[in-house]
Structure 1
Amino acid sequence: MRRRSLAVLAAAILIAPTVPSAAYAGPDYPFRDPHLPLAQRVDDLVGRLTLDEKISMLHQYQPAVPRLGIKLFKAGTEALHGVAWSNDIDHGASVVQADGTTFAQPPGLASTWNPDLIKRVGDAVGTEARGFNAENPRVFGLNLWAPVVNLLRDPRWGRNEEGYSEDPLLTGAIATAYGKGLEGFDPDHLKTAPTLKHYLAYNNEAGRDVTSSNVPQRVLNEYDRQAFRTPLENDAATGVMASYNLINGRPATVDPDLATLTRNWGTYPKFNVSDAYAPYNLTGSQKYFATQAEANAAVIKQGLDSFTVDDANGTPTITAIKQALAQGLLTESDIDQAVGHALSIRFRLGEFDPDGGPYARISPSVINSPEHRQLARETANQAMVLLKNDRNALPLKSGGSVAVVGPLSGTLYSDWYAGKLPYQVTAVDGIKERAKTVTTSDGEDRIALKDVTSGRYVTATGTTDADAVSATAETATDATQFDAVDWGQDILTLRNVANGKYLGYNGGPFITRDDQPSGWFVQQQFKLEPQPDDTFALRYAGYDTLESWFPATKYVTVGADGRLTLGSPDAAGAAHFTREVVRSGIDEAVAAAKKADTAVVVVGSQPFINGREAHDRTSMALGTGQEALVRAVRAANPHTIVVLQTSYPDTITWEQQHVPGIVWTTHAGAETGHAIADVLYGSANPAGRLTQTWYRSTDQLPPDLDDYDIISSGQTYMYSKQTPLYPFGYGLSYTSFRYGVPSVANGKVTLQVTNTGGRDGDEVVQLYTHQRTSRDTTAVKQLRAFQRVHLKAGQTRTVTLKLSPADLARWDVTRGRWVIESSVYDILIGSSSSDIRQRTSLKVHGETIPARDLSRETRAESFDRYAGTKLLDETKSSGTVARATKPGDWIAFRDVDLRGATSFTGRTAALSAGTIQIRLDSPTGKLIGTASVAATGDVYRYATSTAPLTRVSGRHEVYLVFGSALRLSTFSIR
């Protein structure tokens, strides 16, 4: 979708008085009395609304109710790392992009490991959200859709740039800080109402609306839910957004957690919302309900309060809900409850207070204020991670000559959930303030494409939608030249030299209009495919080509009038071009590097290309051209520093082996260049730490991105046994630190940390634990506490980290509850998950998990181990079952006391008859019984399956081996 830029007022002081909107002059209803309890005010207002008015408020755009003085309220303004964009109800819900302060991308925010700083960031974003709302409340609402707390389990996930970390504790801490800042610090009112995205277990883009995340109970409770639980329990968010995917076979939009767990975590009512158009997936791609009336009824009953569908048009939603009421699928009480949740945040925002609440006088003057610019720079500084510093290659000395090269050296990029940068400080800009002489090169090949048939060059003709690119130029000029950047996975962008705009496809014709690759379909992506005759075919590779409706013709042809069009399904029928290199980007960069004291190569990602919403990465490598640039510059100048600017981890194994200095940053907003220079020249001592494991290659990851079981597949630093390129928590400093001997007492771990180097700096002290003995597989190590500490050169500080036995609880699948096991727990304290400086231990007298008692009705999903089996929905409203997908799939239950057991009883559903074998100690172990499973005709119709068992004694691991595709809900062995 196309975004429009919104003009804002000049930056000024943080909060300036403004004239509030006209006060309500109607009757003095109780709901307008701020001294009454929240619940009483909500009930009073709900009671005054008609049924039609209440139903209309379940849409994203809650319409005005003039008779009660209630204005339009829009749910959802994007604010991932700054106010990003919203939609204009008065112009067809078109996207309006904000141009306020953009902070570092979320992985960068988390890389600070500094919740206090991130709380200040959230406070600034919340203040600017109020400023935008004051300027245009019909566009920029105060219900913010941020932060994203999906865990970064696999770095190939397309939306890696939106999350914080692979670790639930760190994610929860940063999300809580950001959310608290967004909400403001008034005890009774909200500055803004943040919404956590996306509930739950959502880490893949391919088929995201139809894939089911298979999440066993321990992973569900110990991992995925924890990231949401922490900010909700700390009242740092006002609700959640349901994700697109299915969770154990049930669409997240109707996950029962939305009506139960998420509402029980925290003090206040929750306002839960759907993701865009997700309610329609229930009757569309997911085929979960036959009618939209059934679907909408389930959405409301299962705990969502707002439908994000049909842009600003609430009529279809209203119609379906009214049908559900007429069919008895909903009651007015269901509507009242959902509307009450929606109104609760409006009350807390001060909307119905006579004076609008304490934040009502924030004006647009706060947007992009000097204070916020400085905070953005400070945050970008603290997020920088020093990955390598061989022989003190860094920091650089001021003065001297520097070659600053690479495709990201002279420009900054925004991402889908960022605003428009109001200004840019690039790496070149920042370094020019420090170096005596700076030479630059973007390292990009400048090429011209000549149509073989006509002998004419492809040329730009203008910058509007009507100015078609054509192969009509007889000679090579600036208009026929394009700067080509290799972003990896064979994707190129082509920027025209004459007008500085990118070649793009706008549904025809090809044009040069856009300042940067952007948009939902990113129509500025191409592939140049070499042909046997040494020519090239130009293939259009915008994301729209992946849609089912896009025609098969993806290759460029040249018409009789010279215009480029998509006219061939293959290279054979495409136009063939010669690729003339007008200027070699590598040669130019090498020449600059040879003449300089230092070469700084700035490479990385373009946030709209390869990894982003709707598109996962297939490779973690730098683009081939960028890799070649780094190698060539390093060969030309041994004092080469790589600045890697990416939204995710990359496999930079060669760089780690051969380049003396490497710094990583996310796309960090308008102040990125200042922050890069601050770190390169040592005015900021880097102390950022990685929040994800950086792997050496995709071979260290599971083959399937959709594998959500981090325990059985050995994912994340907690369970992986691989040796990564950079471990979780890793980052270097320009100084050094010594850790003293820790002491453990009264739920605290205390130690002294000394800065033993010659520079002031920050150390991130990380505390991990390992459980020595357990009934189950436990983490190799797991983060339990951390603290970023500033120490002057030579200074010693006492660091205290909280660690209580309650922090060591894990999920007991045998009894379906949290348990603290009796064990010795190793306490590991260090500078990263692999750099452990001190160790001690804690003996905990907790519980010993008893033997499995399968004589009680046992849920099949509570297995200890499994193979092939999937978790699916028991009914459309609740419950989870184990489903075999093929003969030989199994589930296993450890440490079962079978004394006296003579029979097996299971609750099963199957479309065709099958069997369940009961075996001991392995899938092919002793067979003690076989239950026949009858066909029930429906996957949601269950019957009882039984089998007599051969008597055995002692404790065994019991395997239920399935002979066919079937569902097992519960079973017992008695």
Structure 2
Amino acid sequence: MSIEALRKRYAAPSQGDPHVTAQTPPTPPFRDPQLPFAKRIDDLLQRLTLDEKISFLHQFAPAVGRLGIEAFRTGQEALHGVAWMGPATVFPQAVGLGATWNTDLVRRIGEAVSKEARAMHAQDDRVGLNVWSPTVNLLRHPLWGRNEEGYSEDPKLTSAIAVAYTRGLRGDHPTYWRTAPVLKHWLAHNNETDRATSSSSVRPRVLHEYDLRAFREAVEAGAVAGVMPAYNLVNGRPNHVSPYLREHLRTWTDEDLLVCSDAGAPSNLVDLEHYYDTHEEATAAALIAGVDSFTDHGTDGSQIIARVKKAHADGLLTEADIDTAVRRQLSVRFRLGEFDPLYDPHAGLKDFDTPAHRALAQEAAEQAIVLLKNDGLLPLAPDTRIAVVGLLADECKLDWYSGTLIHRSTPLEGLYERFGAERVEFAEGVDRVLLKTSAGTFLHVPAAADAVDEVRGAEGALDPALLAGRTDLPPLTTDATGTEFALIDWGEGILTLRAPDGRYLSVADDGYVRASADQPGGWVVQETFRLEPHDNGHLLRHVGTGRHVSVAADGVKVADGNPEPEAKPDVWELIVTERGEDAVTQVTERADVVLVVAGNDPHINGRETEDRTTLRLPAHQERILRAARVTNPNTVLALVSAYPYAVATAALPAVLWTAHGGQAAGTALARVLSGDVSPAGRLPQTWYEDDADLPDLFDYDVIGGRQTYLYFEGTPLFPFGHGLSYASFSYADLSVRVDDAAAHVSFTVTNTGDITADEVAQLYTRAVEPTVTRPRRELLAHRRITLAPGAKADLSFEVPLTAFDFWDVARGGWRREPGPYDVLVGASSEDIRLRTTVTLDGEPDAPRPVLRHGLNAVDFDEQSGVAIVDRTKAAGDAVTPATGRNAELIYRDCDFGDGIAEVTVSVAGDGVLELSLDGGALLAVLAPDETTASDDPYAYTTLDADVVAEGVHDVHIRLRGPLRLAHVGFSG
């Protein structure tokens, strides 16, 4: 039935209807589907009491029974499938979706995820429809622990994939949304280390040209319901009170955008960041800045409600401020069809784990695989004898934002299926060990068959959610023979221990060690340990609690805060019964080809709350790879990882990479290795050759730090956009036509190979004669196409001329420089096949009119040792030495006209400012004296000095000491 028919059928009866009795209550306007949402929200707002509206500000908004309004929860994780709510279709990690470079595919995945969310919501209202996905933080630094959650280091690719995913999540109905996507995490968030207290120093050019772009294009596309601020501070100010929400985000659309806080972040404003003295002040500031839903204290809204009420009573908030936030929440709820159940076209969806969704998960896993190197060894012939080795060879890993697998396929299982079990041999390559106590006994896993059987599902599979943290299984003990464990070394001193039945050693809340986990996981991973050399053996430290493992009379446990004598840490002798390399050598010498499957566990050494420390593969995995290669030179490396690695590939004939590929990962890899599918994934970020190529994790200046493919001047291991195919492609007939609004680019791509395959054509540009630092090359557009042998595709792109603009700090706005621009077409950022140069009109460079406006301190052209900080708690930026000692700033081409006689500076704190022109002698030295210096970082004072200068000069400023500089003025 159409929406129009439903409206007629269920419309409120008119007052002239003879069937309407005097007792029939009139339909309130907020229930009238024929009225615009805005009028309905107006009506509902005036019906709600102040207390009811305040209660809506917490993530878990309660029901309002007197109005028939149900409870509502903001937030449902859905990064690559519905997460945390049990079984669901699991698609590749977000970085893997980015590697597909396929917006149509990602849109279809978004559709599938939103349909499953609707189907699950119909069965369990804990499954929310306001989904906190996708993550559009740019993958600026590959050591960021949450690399797996983003799409790309490039803002154009990130926004293209994000737009596709959010359109799929939103659905195509013009009125009612299938789900309401919220983008994460606003803004400049790329470090887990000190993530709630560190400040990202983001200069204006980086802010506008880089960090804001991925958010902006997704919001402007019209399928985004809101954003979630990040934990970190930007330029000294917490994201949850950022003026950018008002100054930028809300100017990009006329829709009401819902801003949902990250979990616990409202309290962080006081408890961790000490930005405000009281929670009432902090809550009021966040609400006024634009936060509409407070995710804090779990399901308990009482503390947030109390804070808002007191802030209102103290005059820090008005009821209008509260109404504004509630209006944005209600806007989302109306769009989701909550108040129109009979009209909502998505209400009856039952699409869950359908054959189409399973096929889509496999298609996505196949398209995400990137062939990094191939000397002709791939694809493999059907009769190839394969040795499969490595820690991830028989694993289908999930991450923190995964759903529970309904189906799964490991690389080993995929190869068994494709090549036959008789042609595939397997060796995990882990060390097999016994752990012996100083008393001569061995660590032992007692039998627990009955207890485990209790949690087996219908198909006999263990439910990891039930196994992890169990206390009904017997704890480990010691005996005369012991249990042989698989010791899995994940690098950086982190290891897991697995019992022969496949269960991992884990520590439950009672402190006892049990073999009880199907996989490492959880917010605090309880399955990881460290072996610490001690005397002639080792202490075994449990990472989750930070305590040592000891043997007590009632079982093996971790020491408590005041251990009894029997609970003192034991010294363990590690006895290796089989080296992983030896097991690998045995199977690889019999094989035609060796497949080494290496990479990471997404819960260990790089994840939310934990950054990586190196690009290197763990040493144990490097040893396995070396052992395989020495025994059999036909060794293929398949990296299955959430982030890039620096690996030596010169001696390897073939290398592939895929993110953790969800439920169909193994099948997809086998189909690519066999040639059933030609790989066409492309790297969504630069793979660097060495740790020395990386900037500091906290250096957010991608321009000054020469970061990402946009500015990196070294030689990468593999460049952005790189990926090989089993086919070959030629490019020809490049044509560029420029009109007043756009550059129209066209070219042809031909499959010159002998198989049907995908190609990802990439369009870049480069300013040839820039007056400021511009990208070495910058992605303008891309398209993934499928071509049969000999087939040709005519591709065309309409690139708005604004894509050639940069943020001009001298003018405080976008500007396009007139002059030549290279137009580059190819198969990666470095594999350029066609190029031409066009000359564009624009606004010519001009000196800064500093006599008119002076210099905002943050609008520098170059800097050394500078941190950008908050000018006030409400708005504005200032600069200060990052270490509190020395910093230098350069402002190019400042026009002093016929001459100046005085300089004035607005500064706060203590220190010295030195000013010179063109790097010459000092013209002025200014410092607060005892009467103007203050410990208050926001207590600015104006200092002045006599100077004489005329014409155009570069202004050099040096700051010594913890001095904040907000503005520099000049007068004649």
Tell me, yes or no, whether TM beats 0.5.
Answer: yes
Q: CA deviation at 1:567?
A: 6.9
Match of 1:7 in 2: none
Amino acid at match of 1:263: R
Contact 1:233 1:267 in 2 (8 A): no
Q: CA deviation at 1:379?
A: 0.6
Match of 2:541 among 522, 539, 543: 539
Q: Residues 201-221 of structure 1: CA distance to partner in whole angstroms, max 9, x if unpaired?
A: 000011101000000000011
Q: Residues 908-933 of structure 1: CA distance to partner in whole angstroms, max 9, x if unpaired?
A: 211x3x332210122xx221122332
- Of 797-806 and 514-523, the range deviating more from structure 2: 797-806
Contact 1:643 1:663 in 2 (8 A): yes
Match of 2:395 among 376, 386, 411: 411
- What's the % identity of the aligned pairs? 44
Match of 1:728 in 2: 720
Contact 1:385 1:686 in 2 (8 A): yes
Match of 1:652 in 2: 647
Q: Distance in 2 between matches of 1:482 and 1:344?
A: 55
Amino acid at match of 1:641: V
| Distance change (3 Å), C-alpha of 1:569 and 1:864 | farther
Amino acid at match of 2:915: I
Contact 1:502 1:515 in 2 (8 A): no
Match of 2:963 in 1: 966
Q: Residues 230-283 of structure 1: CA distance to partner in whole angstroms, max 9, x if unpaired?
A: 100101211000100000000001001223321121241101110001000111
Give unmatched runs, 5+ long, in structure 2: 1-9, 13-23, 453-469
Q: Residues 541-579 of structure 1: CA distance to partner in whole angstroms, max 9, x if unpaired?
A: 23x53xxxxxxxx33333355634337999xx8422222
Amino acid at match of 2:405: L
Contact 1:813 1:862 in 2 (8 A): yes
Match of 2:552 in 1: 559
Match of 2:751 in 1: 755
Q: CA deviation at 1:970?
A: 1.7
Q: CA deviation at 1:460?
A: 4.5
Match of 1:639 in 2: 634
Match of 1:14 in 2: none
Contact 1:555 1:569 in 2 (8 A): no
Q: Distance in 2 between matches of 1:941 and 1:952?
A: 30
Correspondence 1:271-310 to 2 at 5 A: 271-310=258-297
| Distance change (3 Å), C-alpha of 1:640 and 1:963 | closer
| Distance change (3 Å), C-alpha of 1:160 and 1:887 | closer
Match of 2:439 in 1: 453
Q: CA deviation at 1:768?
A: 1.1
Q: Secondary structure of the residue that 1:876 maps to in structure 2?
A: coil
Q: Distance in 1 between matches of 2:216 and 2:709?
A: 21
Q: Residues 176-230 of structure 1: CA distance to partner in whole angstroms, max 9, x if unpaired?
A: 0000000000011100000000000000011101000000000011000001001
Q: Distance in 2 between matches of 1:500 and 1:319?
A: 46
Q: Distance in 1 between matches of 2:886 and 2:244?
A: 32
Q: Distance in 2 between matches of 1:276 and 1:562?
A: 37
Amino acid at match of 1:388: K
Q: Distance in 2 between matches of 1:763 and 1:658?
A: 27
Match of 2:498 in 1: 495
Match of 1:675 among 664, 668, 685: 668
Match of 1:947 in 2: 945
| Distance change (3 Å), C-alpha of 1:444 and 1:27 | farther
Match of 1:208 among 191, 195, 208: 195
Q: Residues 266-318 of structure 1: CA distance to partner in whole angstroms, max 9, x if unpaired?
A: 24110111000100011111011111111110011000100001111111111
Does 2:922 correspond to 1:927? yes
Q: Secondary structure of the residue that 1:586 maps to in structure 2?
A: helix
Q: Secondary structure of the residue that 1:374 maps to in structure 2?
A: helix
Contact 2:102 2:784 in 1 (8 A): yes
Match of 1:369 among 354, 364, 372: 354
Q: CA deviation at 1:482?
A: 1.1
Does 2:848 correspond to 1:852? yes
Does 2:435 correspond to 1:438? no
- Of 818-827 and 593-602, the range deviating more from structure 2: 593-602
Q: CA deviation at 1:459?
A: 3.5
Q: Residues 772-801 of structure 1: CA distance to partner in whole angstroms, max 9, x if unpaired?
A: 122211111111111112111111111112
Amino acid at match of 1:426: T
Q: CA deviation at 1:458?
A: 4.0
Q: CA deviation at 1:481?
A: 1.6
Match of 1:823 among 795, 816, 819: 819
| Distance change (3 Å), C-alpha of 1:644 and 1:937 | closer
Match of 2:147 among 160, 171, 187: 160
Q: CA deviation at 1:469?
A: 4.0
Q: CA deviation at 1:971?
A: 1.9
Q: Distance in 2 between matches of 1:416 and 1:207?
A: 19
Correspondence 1:461-610 to 2 at 5 A: 462=448, 464-467=470-473, 469-476=475-482, 480-498=483-501, 500-504=503-507, 506=509, 508-531=511-534, 533=536, 535-542=537-544, 544-545=545-546, 554-559=547-552, 563-566=556-559, 574-610=569-605
Q: Distance in 2 between matches of 1:901 and 1:641?
A: 69
Match of 2:806 among 799, 806, 810: 810
Match of 1:765 in 2: 761
| Distance change (3 Å), C-alpha of 1:260 and 1:341 | farther
Contact 2:512 2:555 in 1 (8 A): no
Match of 1:695 in 2: 688
Contact 1:559 1:565 in 2 (8 A): no
Amino acid at match of 1:473: D
Scaled by the length of structure 1, the TM-score of the pair is 0.92
Q: Distance in 2 between matches of 1:393 and 1:504?
A: 45
Give unmatched runs, 5+ long, in structure 1: 1-21, 86-96, 546-553
Amino acid at match of 2:360: L
Q: Secondary structure of the residue that 2:927 maps to in structure 1?
A: strand
Contact 2:504 2:527 in 1 (8 A): no
Q: CA deviation at 1:519?
A: 0.7
Q: Distance in 2 between matches of 1:460 and 1:143?
A: 46
Does 2:366 correspond to 1:381? yes
Q: Secondary structure of the residue that 1:742 maps to in structure 2?
A: strand
| Distance change (3 Å), C-alpha of 1:471 and 1:334 | same
Amino acid at match of 1:120: R
Match of 1:6 in 2: none
Q: Secondary structure of the residue that 1:634 maps to in structure 2?
A: helix
Q: Secondary structure of the residue that 1:657 maps to in structure 2?
A: coil
Q: CA deviation at 1:530?
A: 4.1
Match of 1:629 among 603, 618, 624: 624
Q: Secondary structure of the residue that 1:803 maps to in structure 2?
A: strand
Q: Secondary structure of the residue that 1:194 maps to in structure 2?
A: strand
Does 2:116 correspond to 1:128? yes
What RMSD over aligned residues (CA atoms) do the two structures have, in Å?
Answer: 2.0
Match of 1:393 in 2: 377
Q: Distance in 2 between matches of 1:321 and 1:781?
A: 49
Q: CA deviation at 1:865?
A: 1.3
Amino acid at match of 1:650: Y
Contact 2:445 2:515 in 1 (8 A): no
Scaled by the length of structure 2, the TM-score of the pair is 0.92
Contact 1:449 1:578 in 2 (8 A): yes
Q: Distance in 2 between matches of 1:696 and 1:98?
A: 39
Contact 1:38 1:347 in 2 (8 A): yes
Q: Distance in 2 between matches of 1:636 and 1:531?
A: 35
| Distance change (3 Å), C-alpha of 1:568 and 1:71 | closer
Match of 1:779 in 2: 775
Q: Secondary structure of the residue that 1:973 maps to in structure 2?
A: strand
Contact 1:189 1:350 in 2 (8 A): yes
Q: Distance in 2 between matches of 1:897 and 1:806?
A: 27
Contact 1:495 1:503 in 2 (8 A): no
Q: CA deviation at 1:507?
A: 5.3
Contact 1:904 1:931 in 2 (8 A): no
Contact 1:242 1:253 in 2 (8 A): yes
Q: CA deviation at 1:466?
A: 4.6
Match of 1:841 among 837, 844, 854: 837
